[in-house]
Amino acid sequence: MNSALVSLRGVGVRFGPTPVLADIDLDLAPGEALGITGPNGAGKSTLLAVISTLLRPAAGTVSVFGSPVLRRDLPGVRRRIGMSGHEPGLYPELTLLENLALVENLVGDVRMSAMQVLEVVGLAGAAQRRASTASNGMQRRTDLARLIMTRPDLILLDEAHASLDSAARDIIDRLIHRTCEAGGGAVVVSHDRGVLGRSVDRVVEVAAGRLT
Amino acid sequence: MTRATASGFWKQALSIARRDLMIESRGGEVFGVVLPFAAVAVFVVPLATDALATRLDQLAYPVFWLVGLLFGMQVALRQTGTENLTQRRTLALMGIDPAARFAGRSLAAAILTTGVMLVIAPLVVLFYDPDSIPDIWPSLAAIIGFALGLSMLSTLAGDVTVGLRTRSSLAPLIVAPISVPLLIGASQTLEALIRDRSTMAPALLLTVTVLSLAVTGVLTAPALEEATT
Residue type, A191: H
The 3-state DSSP class for residue A156 equals strand
> Side chain identity at B119, as an amino acid letter?
V
CB atoms within 10 A of CB A56: 12
Amino acid of residue B94: M
- Mean pLDDT for A152-181 is 91
Rounded to an integer, the average pLDDT of B125-140 is: 90
State pLDDT tens for residues A179-208.
999 999 999 999 888 888 888 999 999 998
pLDDT of residue A5: 94
- What residues of chain A lie within 8 A of the CB of B5, using their CB? 108-109
Average pLDDT of span B132-160: 93
pLDDT tier, A95 (very low <50, low <70, confident <90, very high otherwise):
very high
Q: Where are the domains of chain B?
A: 9-228
CB contact under 8 A, A94 and B89: no
pTM assigned to the model: 0.89
Using alpha carbons only, how large is chain B's radius of gyration in Å? 19
Predicted local distance difference test score (pLDDT) of residue A21:
94
DSSP classification of residue A130: B
Q: Using 50, 70 and 90 to split pLDDT, how confident is the model at A162?
A: confident
pLDDT of residue B228: 78
- pLDDT given at position B50: 65
Q: What is the average pLDDT score of chain A?
A: 91
How many contacts (CB atoms, under 8 Å) link A and B? Answer: 96
* Bridge partners for A59 per DSSP: A12
Using a CB–CB cutoff of 8 Å, tell me whether A8 touches chain B.
Answer: no
Residues of B in contact with A52 (CB under 8 A): 89, 93
Q: Is B143's Cβ below 8 Å from some Cβ in A? A: no
- In this prediction, residue B6 carries a pLDDT of 45
Question: So what's the ipTM on this one?
Answer: 0.89
Segment B153-167 mean pLDDT: 86
Contact: A151, B2; criterion CB under 8 Å: yes
Q: Give the mean pLDDT of chain B.
A: 88
Nearest to A107 among B7, B19, B222 (CB): B7
Report the distance separating Cα B19 and Cα B101, nearest Å: 11
Output the pLDDT for position A28: 96
* Banded pLDDT at B183 (limits 50, 70, 90): very high
Report pLDDT digits (tens) over A126-135.
999 999 999 9
Nearest to A36 by CA among A204, A212, A174: A204
Cα dist. A36→A117, A175, A203, B57 in Å? 28, 18, 6, 70
**Which ranges of chain A does DSSP label H, i.e. alpha helix?**
44-51, 74-78, 96-107, 114-120, 136-150, 166-181, 193-197
Termini Cα distance of chain A:
27
Where is average pLDDT lowest: A41-55, B1-15, B35-49, B61-75? B1-15
Residue A21 pairs in a beta bridge with A13
Q: Is the confidence at residue B43, as pLDDT, over 60?
A: yes
| Residues of chain B with C-beta less than 8 angstroms from the C-beta of A85 | 86
Chain B CB contacts of A91 below 8 Å? 19, 23, 82, 87
